[in-house]
Chain A
Amino acid sequence: MAQVINKATRESFGLALCELAKTHDDIVVLDADLAAATKTGIFKKEFPERFINCGIAEGNMIGVAAGLAAAGKKPFAASFAMFATGRAFEQIRNSVAYPKLNVKIAGSHAGISTGEDGATHQCIEDIAIMRAIPGMVVLNPADHYEMVEAVKAAYEYNGPVYIRLGRLAIDSFNDPDNYKFELGKGITLHEGNDITVIATGLVVNESLKAVKALEAKGINARLINIHTIKPIDREIIIKAAKETGRIVTVEEHNVIGGLGDAVCDVVSSECPVKVTKIGVNDEFGYSGPAKQLLEIFGLCQSNIEKVVEDIVKNEK
């Protein structure tokens, strides 16, 4: 078994950038006065000459990143998910995505696990916003090892990418020796044919714990980790719909516009099955410790387990 690393994906992101930059001179990193929080500070310390603090001006930061990319750099621009994708939405849309410039946007403190800062800083719309932009790749890595590989894949990909980062430290579950990140490819973490759980980001580990616990109860749930929300792995979803007939999606995001909707888009046109969405039910979050909030919002093992169990017992 691989070593379990307890890290927030924002930190894994900072470390991965730093590592990648050692061999790639074209990487530059921008932040909007949140380097300590987004963990681009790790990069800043090692490569101060390639770090650009743009101050608290996210719109300009994205535009500057676009200009840097147009001049041959490979910029990673980071802020909180709320401000990167919210405040600077239109700059991302018009200055980055429309000209297909090679800018990677990192949105940290995504979801309600931002915690005590409360609703203004808990972005539950970023996936929906970024998915809606033509050509935008949307990544939501689930643990340390996956984030490291996702950063490399984002760098190798020629075009705009959004990477979602979490604030809360979480245990890794992937085994780096057997892990392969393929852009646009989901990963089956647990086999099963009774039902399929499709999860993304921070809640994948909770989902994994849930399906393992269900197995002990005689319920064989398949678990798919979708690290690339766009372009989504249609094949793996359709196969799961056909083979298991029932899907539950889990995401730390509004149930409108996120993973759940992306999965519904796929199955509704190819293999209609019932989909139950676990996520934030179109409401704002509030202040509180991250883990407590995740429990209240049902983004925890016990709730995922219960939802799946109820469906299987009632419908099968």
Chain B
Amino acid sequence: MNSAEKLQLQILACKSRMGAIIGTFNAKSGHPGGSLSAADIYTYLYYKEMNVDPTNPKWADRDRFVLSKGHCCPSLYATLALKGYFDWDELTKLRHVGAMLQGHPDMKGTPGIDMSSGSLGQGVSAACGMALAGKMDNKSYRVYTLLGDGECEEGQVWEAAMFAAHKNLDNICFIVDCNGLQIDGTVEEIGGIEPLDEKFKAFGFNVIKVNGHDFDQLESAFENAKSTEGKPSVIIASTVKGKDVSFMENQVGWHGTAPNQEQYEIAMGELEAKLKELEALV
């Protein structure tokens, strides 16, 4: 990836983070922490990796994305809006009565959302079903699913992992957004999921570990996943919960709390400054 391309991705990720702050602020609820940790991954997927067409969201041969950690949808919605699936203004109505953008992803009402999700552990299974359908129909589309590190405490994640490897689903790529925090504390303290890489290896996965905020590393990870045959891949992405909003970074309290007016202004100020900095480099 050349530096101009990388800069574009950084700009889009910054805007995605701004969308998450705008959305949760206007909703007076929602999950900013994990939205901010996943923003670079969404950006990479929708701008670099996935074969999709925002003008034809149900295109049968498209690559699919399932947000298994459904609560981190605010920045996904922002990325989808940036990509052209729907108007950016929808973000200001997030979680409002009658809004297109529900508190957790709703495939029936939101263009670009490939699967309804929100109950942890369930999205990965649906992603496996989509990947299996692709194999049965000899289609070349790929399926991506993002889950949280805390989500890996759910038994269904491992049922799905066993299934994906057993059925040789090399057209699926799990991405774990390892931001280290969950509602009640650190993942280490609450769930004890480590060693996550060894677990996925034991389940038959091609395991790739990256910094989830580094687009070069994400690029080589996704290339590695795509070129791996006969088994599914998992990208274990180290991330920072609350990334790029100073007072939210690595704070467990920002899992599911919306910024108030003052916090909103500080957060947007920081992201706008970062955006300006990036745009100056173009």
Contacts and interface: CB of A to CB of B under 8 A. Distances in A.
Contacts of A69: 129
B122 A94 contact: yes
Which of A60, A99, A100 lies at the interface centre, i.e. has the most chain B CB atoms within 10 A of its CB? A60
Contacts of A63: 122-126, 128-129, 156, 160
Contacts of B114: 70
B60 interface: yes
A57 B128 contact: no
B69 to A, nearest CB: 14
Tell me what chain A mostly uses at the interface: helix, strand, loop, or mixed: helix
B159 A60 contact: yes
Given A67-B115, A68-B133, A95 B162 contact: no
Contacts of B115: 66-67, 70, 95, 99
A73 interface: yes
A207 interface: no
A99 B130 CA distance: 15
B133 A71 contact: yes
A278 interface: no
Interface in B163-204: 163, 166-167
Nearest to B115: A70
A72 B156 contact: no
B125 A71 contact: no
Interface residues on B, range: 35 or more
A60 B130 contact: no
Most buried by A among B114, B123, B163: B163
A39 B166 CA distance: 23
Contacts, number: 106
Interface in B86-144: 106-108, 114-119, 121-134, 136-137
Contact of B160 (A49, A60, A70, A73): A60
Nearest to B119: A94
A94 B131 contact: no
B136 A60 contact: no
A99 B125 contact: no
Nearest to A68: B129
B108 A64 contact: no
Contact of A94 (B118, B127, B134, B162): B118
A95 B126 CA distance: 8
A59 to B, nearest CB: 5
Contact of B163 (A57, A68, A72): A57
B155 interface: yes
B73 to A, nearest CB: 15
A245 B214 CA distance: 74
A68 B108 contact: no
Contact of A60 (B60, B118, B119, B128): B128
A91 to B, nearest CB: 6
A72 B134 CA distance: 10
4 closest A-B pairs by CB: A67-B129, A63-B125, A71-B133, A60-B159
14 contacts: A57-B162, A59-B125, A59-B159, A63-B128, A64-B128, A64-B129, A64-B163, A66-B126, A67-B126, A67-B131, A72-B133, A95-B119, A98-B116, A99-B116
Given A60-B125, A73-B133, 19 more contacts: A52-B167, A59-B125, A59-B156, A63-B124, A63-B126, A63-B129, A63-B156, A64-B129, A65-B129, A66-B126, A67-B127, A67-B128, A68-B133, A71-B133, A91-B125, A94-B118, A95-B115, A98-B116, A100-B108
